[in-house]
Amino acid sequence: MRYIAIIFWSIMLGQVAGFIGGALNQQTYNTNYSIIVSIVFAVIFSAIPLILDSSVNDKKDEKSA
């Protein structure tokens, strides 16, 4: 459920950022492009804590051995 909420809010905030960014650069607003970029960043930022947590656990295991 946590990942669904992350993807939902990243899409919403990505749409807002895409609209404002397009307006500031005087370009047309592209909904599909904003959704794709938002989902990619949501997946990346969701995976980073999992990767870092596993590396910390590995270092703790090495120290205790």
User: Which residue from 61, 48, 18 is spatially nearest to 36, judged by alpha carbons?
Assistant: 18
Instruction: Please write the tens of the pLDDT for every residue from 20-62.
Output: 999 999 999 889 999 999 999 988 988 888 888 876 666 666 6
For the chain, what are the domain ranges? Answer: 2-64
CA–CA separation, 50 and 60 (whole Å): 16
Q: Is this prediction's pTM over 0.75? A: no
* b/e 7-36 (16+ beta carbons within 10 angstroms → b): eeebbeebeeebeeeeeeeeeeeeeeebee
